[in-house]
């Protein structure tokens, strides 16, 4: 018999294989700063307390249910919504017939921000990146032929959560379904909106009241309905590392529990209906460890509230594959990325899953690409065998050690938030937002330097890009349809009864007495619109406006000796010397698109290079952006687009600049813009388009060339 091998034997063999070098040089530092060794052994499992845990039993590391997928697979819950309620309804019905097991609704940004489709601020947003919902009538159409008694509905809504949930409840009533029989989830997670996604309406304090009122009402009246989905997904999409996503999501959850208990509710009344929502990116084993650590830490957090029901300690989660990992370049690679991410979510123990379509870095998914995304999950469930055993990676030296490391590192951030007085205080101070933006800028630097490889983007690029079919929404047509329906409703409803219900809602908001959702349901029954219900509260609380800040010297770290970076800095410095000032760039987000990761990364990187950068406030109209560009005296206006509003908003911006004798300002666009739209934008007057995955150094060089041409046209030698 051969002797038992030891770690010393491995070290000797590894040293030979790497020709005498120290095997410790193979240690990898994750973006979270966690060292990943080339070899894990039983020694790495010492002092890990959760190793003896069992599925379905506290602390739930191995899963919230004893049998997990061996008893029942996870729910396939694809997130979709676009254009009109009629179009989205047809899409949902086909998806359910094709194997989807629940409906997950994406709303357009006008709806998210509490505006009706006829509001002048949402001209470019209606029906884009989600379905337009203005009233109960739209909600009834959305679920026509979909039995709400039998199908669970998840709704990603936070800002306008009150009118949307109220309209859903009334639509159910008019379908003959009692509130107590409605099942599903409303996201209702406002804290992360203030951190990253920005589809808020009201200031933090009244927003937290709304969260608590919804939890209170649904606990009392809707026992099958999950009153909140505490989301880390948008944090990772905004650039957080996995430890930040884990820590800040759980800290949000703790804050919501406290807010609900402050309403006089017992923790066991509502804790079982709390749910979570995590993003799953490309760090395969780290994502598995993150989900396992989340259950461990949530159990620890909930113990402080002294529940009597062990199910109150249990974390249940939905997951979605990453949108940030999807790439415009060589897009069929995204099918592979999504499959790996889906497998990671499943091995981590998710309860439901959405898989992204491969074309979502370019446009809304087509019916064909959505089918591939859905079938990815069906193949996992039926062909891979992963559903046959519970927590198949349990006991893995690497996974168990990584689970503990993620738990330990996340707990440090959770304790830091606690020291500030909780997550509301931390959000008001801007701590999580700042940390996430620093992480985002640092990652972009690693990608642009080639330290983090993205196949088809910064390495192994294809020689030729094939054009793919995209789904295009006629924004003007959708808006026209929505406005016509709104006008019909306002003409046919009992306006006196509607006004009285809205006045009652305002009084509930003002007095602090009564339940906000309960009052909104009465207004929805009278056919008050989403915008009118939102405005009834806005008149009392106002509309929140965030302070826009920019971080510095994060992107530039690691570029000190990079020839290209040094050359760009010199080029900008030389131009500044000749102009007597720095070249000035303004970065704007137009419409109701609050996804500002790209805009913030570009602003930070350009500032580090030496440009003078001005960041416009979120939610500007083209008119407001043009006025600001003139007042600030900028040379370049950079419009960041994430939600397909570019075809409407970019031409409007150019027109507004021309009205102010500022047509000579260079206008560039960046973000999620399909190649099929490039010619349209350039004909409108856009100088350059920088799609997802564009190297920032290359875009800076390109922009400097445009600036040189502009100044030479004015006979300025730069």
Q: Write out the catalytic residue numbers.
A: 79, 233-234, 589, 593, 595
The owner of tokens 């800028």 is 441
Cα–Cα nearest to 110, from 89, 132, 83? 132
What count of other Cβ atoms lies within 10 Å of the Cβ of residue 485?
A: 18
- The Cα 396–Cα 301 span in angstroms is 26
The DSSP secondary structure of 378-406, one letter per residue, reads: HHHHHHS-TTSSSSTTTT-HHHHHHHHHH
Question: Do residues 350 and 291 make contact, with C-beta atoms less than 8 angstroms apart?
Answer: yes
Report the alpha-carbon distance of residue 317 to residue 230 in Å, rounded.
9
**DSSP state for residue 200 in the 8-state scheme:** -
**How far apart are the C-alpha atoms of 398 and 289, rounded to whole Å?**
9
DSSP code for 590: B
In 126-178, DSSP assigns E strands to 153-155
Q: Which residues pair with 275 in a beta bridge?
A: 229
Residue 321 phi, psi dihedral angles, 5° rounding: -65, 155
Residue with tokens 């006991």: 395
The sheet with strand 666-671 has its strands ordered as 612-615, 584-588, 636-641, 666-671, 688-690
CB distance 615 to 550 below 8 Å: yes
Give the pair of three-digit tokens for residue 293: 């650590």
Q: How far is residue 201 from each of residues 160, 163, 440, 588, measured CA to CA in Å? A: 7, 12, 25, 20
Which residues 6+ apart lie within 8 Å of 488 measured at CB?
Answer: none
CA 370 → CA 98, 353, 693, distances in Å?
11, 14, 23
| Cα 457 to the center of its chain, rounded Å | 22
Q: Strand 28-29 relative to strand 35-36: parallel, antiparallel, unpaired?
A: antiparallel
Helices 397-419 and 242-261, packing angle to 10 deg:
50
354 within 8 A of 318, measured Cβ to Cβ: yes
Rg (CA), the chain: 26
Taking the C-alpha atoms of residue 202 and residue 190, their distance in angstroms, rounded to an integer, is 10
With tokens 């996870």, the residue in question is 74
Burial of 223 (0-12, 13-18, 19+ CB in 10 A): middle
Region of residue 330 (phi > 0: left; psi between -120 and 50: alpha; otherwise: beta): left
Which residues partner with 668 through β-bridges? 638, 688
């Amino acid at each position: 018999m051969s002797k038992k091998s030891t770690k010393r034997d491995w070290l000797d063999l590894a040293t030979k294989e790497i020709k005498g070098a120290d095997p410790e040089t193979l240690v990898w530092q994750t973006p979270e700063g966690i060292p990943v060794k080339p070899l894990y052994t039983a020694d790495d499992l010492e002092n890990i307390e959760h190793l003896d845990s069992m599925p379905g039993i506290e602390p739930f590391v191995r899963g919230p249910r004893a049998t997990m997928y061996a008893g029942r697979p996870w729910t396939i819950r694809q997130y979709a919504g676009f254009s009109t309620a009629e179009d989205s309804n047809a899409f949902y019905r086909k998806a359910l017939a094709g194997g989807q097991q629940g409906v997950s609704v994406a709303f357009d940004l006008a709806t998210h921000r509490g505006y009706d489709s006829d509001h002048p601020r949402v001209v470019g947003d209606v029906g884009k990146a989600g379905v337009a919902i203005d009233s109960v009538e739209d909600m009834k159409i959305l679920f026509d032929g979909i039995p709400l008694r039998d199908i669970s509905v998840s709704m990603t809504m936070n800002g306008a959560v009150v009118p949307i949930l109220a309209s859903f409840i009334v639509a159910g009533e008019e379908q003959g379904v009692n509130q107590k029989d409605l099942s599903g989830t409303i996201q209702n997670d406002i804290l992360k909106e203030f951190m990253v996604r920005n589809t808020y309406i009201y200031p933090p304090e009244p927003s937290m009241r709304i969260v608590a009122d919804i939890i209170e009402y649904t606990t009392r009246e809707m026992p099958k309905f999950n009153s909140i989905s505490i989301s880390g997904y948008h944090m990772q999409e905004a650039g957080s590392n996995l430890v930040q996503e884990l820590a800040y999501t759980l800290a949000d959850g703790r804050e919501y529990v406290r807010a609900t208990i402050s309403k006089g509710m017992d923790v066991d009344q509502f804790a079982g209906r709390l749910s979570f929502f995590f993003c799953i990116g490309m760090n395969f084993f780290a994502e598995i460890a993150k989900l396992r650590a989340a259950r461990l830490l949530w159990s620890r957090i909930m113990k402080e509230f002294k529940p009597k029901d062990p199910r109150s300690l249990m974390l249940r989660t939905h997951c979605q594959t990453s949108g940030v990992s999807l790439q415009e370049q060589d897009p069929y690679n995204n099918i592979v990325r999504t499959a790996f991410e889906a497998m990671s979510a499943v091995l981590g123990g998710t309860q439901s899953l959405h898989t992204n379509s491969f074309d979502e870095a370019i446009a809304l998914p087509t019916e064909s690409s959505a089918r591939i995304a859905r079938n990815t999950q069906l193949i996992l469930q039926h062909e891979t065998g992963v559903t046959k055993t519970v927590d198949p990676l349990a006991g893995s030296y690497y996974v168990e050690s990584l689970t503990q490391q993620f738990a330990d590192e996340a707990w440090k951030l959770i304790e830091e938030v606690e020291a500030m007085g909780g997550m509301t205080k931390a959000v008001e101070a801007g701590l999580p937002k700042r940390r996430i933006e620093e992480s985002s800028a640092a990652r972009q630097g690693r990608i642009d330097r080639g330290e983090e490889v993205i196949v088809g983007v910064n390495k192994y690029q294809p020689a030729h890009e094939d054009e793919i079919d995209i789904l295009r929404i006629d924004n003007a047509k959708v808006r026209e349809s929505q406005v016509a329906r709104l006008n019909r409703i306002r003409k046919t409803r009992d306006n006196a009864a509607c006004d009285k219900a809205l006045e009652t809602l305002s009084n509930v908001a003002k007095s602090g007495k009564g339940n906000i959702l309960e009052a909104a349901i009465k207004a929805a029954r009278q056919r008050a619109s989403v915008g009118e219900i939102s405005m009834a509260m806005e008149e009392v609380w106002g509309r929140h406006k965030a302070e826009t800040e920019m971080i510095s010297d994060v992107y530039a770290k690691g570029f000190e000796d990079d020839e290209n970076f040094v050359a760009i800095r010199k080029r900008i410095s030389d131009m500044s010397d000749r102009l007597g000032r720095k070249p000035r760039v303004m970065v704007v987000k137009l419409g109701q698109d609050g996804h500002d990761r790209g805009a913030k990364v570009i602003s930070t990187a350009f500032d580090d290079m030496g440009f003078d950068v001005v960041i416009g406030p979120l939610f500007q109209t083209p008119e407001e952006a043009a006025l600001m560009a003139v007042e600030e005296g900028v040379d370049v206006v950079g419009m960041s687009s994430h939600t397909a509003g570019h075809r409407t908003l970019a031409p409007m911006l150019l027109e507004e600049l021309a009205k102010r004798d500022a047509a000579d300002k260079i206008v560039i666009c960046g973000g999620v813009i399909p190649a099929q739209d490039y010619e349209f934008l350039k004909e409108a007057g856009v100088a350059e388009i920088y799609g997802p995955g564009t190297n920032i150094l290359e875009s800076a060089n390109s922009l400097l060339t445009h600036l040189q041409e502009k100044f030479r046209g004015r006979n300025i030698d730069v």
